[in-house]
Copies of this chain bind each other. A is one copy, B any other.
Amino acid sequence: MQLTGRMVIGFDRVAGTGRAITAVDPRTGDNLEPEYRYGDAGDVERACVLADEAFDVYRATSAEQRAAFLDAIAGKLDALKGDLVQRAMSETGLPEARLTGEVGRTTGQLRMFAEDLRAEDATGSLTTGLPDGAGRVLSVDPANEGGPEIRQGRVALGPVAVFGASNFPFAFSVAGGDTASALAAGCPVVVKAHDAHPGVCELVGQAVSEAVREAGLPEGVFSMLYGDGPTLGIALVTDPRVQAVGFTGSRRAGLAIAQAAANRPRPIPVYAEMSSVNPVFLLPDALAERAGELAEGFVGSVTLGAGQFCTNPGLVFAVGGTHLDAFLDEATKAIEANPGAPMLTPGIAKAYAEGVERLENHPDVEIVARGQEPDAAVGCRAALVVVDAANFGPDLQEEIFGACSLVVRCDDLGQVVEAARGLEGQLTATIHGKGDDAERLLPVLERLVGRIVWDGWPTGVRVGHAMVHGGPFPATSDARTTSVGSLAIERFRRPIAYQGVPR
């Protein structure tokens, strides 16, 4: 498949007329061909009009038709895996094994939603007597005392705008979880491609559009545009035809999108996954038993993928003393031995370096270890930082995207629990330890996060039916759902009651 530098608007391949961008290879600093030009308001409108036109036909497809379509997208991505991984290595600097795994994760996710649709279908709950499949019936109140039968179904919301993330060029991008779950729900999708991996976006976008054509679906089921967030992105969010938004990225961009959506004449839901520092709680019993093992696991999780994970453990709470000292000693050795790695973009690397510099200049924190300078044009040196709980304030809760983690040394468990209570909403929290201390912490963390990890590490979000990748504000803009796992599909449909409607 050839890279053309063009957008995907339905079945057309359209050259943008706005600003030109190219991807940068973080390993070498080289610009990568081809050039991509931003689309304009007319492109947004065209994609949205097509999506709206496609909506009624697409949502009326059967669960099996949509499942087969998702499977077909997965098949195309698997077939393209070699090209996808090579281009992604150039655009993101992420290693081959990781990217190969991520393609598998992405196709597995598409297939999981296909499986979910078939399972829902198999319950026999879809016999609505309505135009095939348009409404999914999930519960029924039988006719009684002369009253009519009432069936509760789900209807798709309408065209969905998807904003992918830089750090997962497959799993949270063009054909990632937001797109897969929106398509599963029966919603057409318009993606804003990510500037950090435009070539990967084009390869995947073309594959999805081909799958639309081969499935005989209306072309508006999928489009993909290049553009910047403040203009093209906001134009997409405020287009009257768009009915929901999926976003993964920075807090600033996520809040701007949520604001724009709330200010529409007719507001729409925004599912923005924004920022999280993923606190880890090392309880005294665990530190006493296995400080070294914990340090090893911790540094592995912090430095994985140059720390560029939404679930990177950026904050650690523990009670000070010899066991914490042992942990810090081992963690220091591991951080110092860390070779570093390329970061996704020059902008991300700059923000990371500035974030660590802010900590270096902070009067109350101590940089206890730095990793090695990586052999990359755009790289990340890991950092381990310590602060006493008395000096831990809101300024130190801010996410530093990259391989940096802050250990908060507490006087006692009461101070650990108190600090937990003061945290902002998070995607995850992790507990190492057990017994009464853990029981005391658990209810505090339940109010704070979308996922509680026990005796593990938060990185590595398994795609499964029960997964929750979400959490209270500002981790996301809507804690009532998840962007990974089967429940994600419910973000893009709503309940409807059919009262007395013939089957």
- A positions within 8 Å CB-CB of B: 56, 60, 130-131, 134-135, 139-141, 147-148, 150-152, 155, 157-158, 258, 262, 266-267, 269, 425, 434, 439, 442-443, 446-447, 449-456, 462, 464-468, 470, 472-474, 477-482, 485-487, 490, 494-502
Contact = CB atoms under 8 A, between A and B. Distances in A.
Contacts of A151: 466
Contact of A135 (B266, B446, B453, B455): B446
A489 to B, nearest CB: 12
A463 to B, nearest CB: 9
B450 A502 contact: no
A496 B475 CA distance: 13
Contact of A495 (B135, B468, B502): B468
A442 B130 contact: yes
Given A148-B456, A494-B480, A473 B267 contact: yes
B266 A155 contact: no
Contact of A450 (B455, B462, B497): B497
Given A148-B456, A451-B496, A468-B497, 8 more contacts: A131-B442, A135-B446, A258-B262, A446-B496, A452-B497, A454-B502, A456-B499, A468-B495
A155 B453 contact: no
10 contacts: A60-B443, A134-B443, A141-B466, A269-B478, A269-B480, A446-B496, A450-B496, A452-B498, A453-B500, A472-B494
A258 to B, nearest CB: 8
Contacts of A473: 266-267
Contacts of A500: 453-456
B266 A467 contact: no
A474 B269 contact: no
Given A262-B262, A479-B494, A495-B480, A152 B454 contact: no
Contacts of A499: 451-454, 456
Contact of A152 (B155, B468, B477, B478): B468
B452 A501 contact: yes
A72 to B, nearest CB: 25
B266 A466 contact: no
A452 B464 CA distance: 34
Residue with the highest number of chain B CB atoms closer than 10 Å, among A477, A480, A502: A480
B466 A497 contact: yes
A425 B468 CA distance: 31
Contact of A446 (B134, B140, B446): B134
A462 B486 CA distance: 30
A466 B138 CA distance: 8
Contacts of A468: 152, 495-497
B131 A467 contact: no
Contact of A158 (B447, B474, B490, B502): B447
Contacts of A477: 267
A472 B269 CA distance: 11
Contacts of A439: 131
Contacts of A157: 479
A451 B147 CA distance: 15
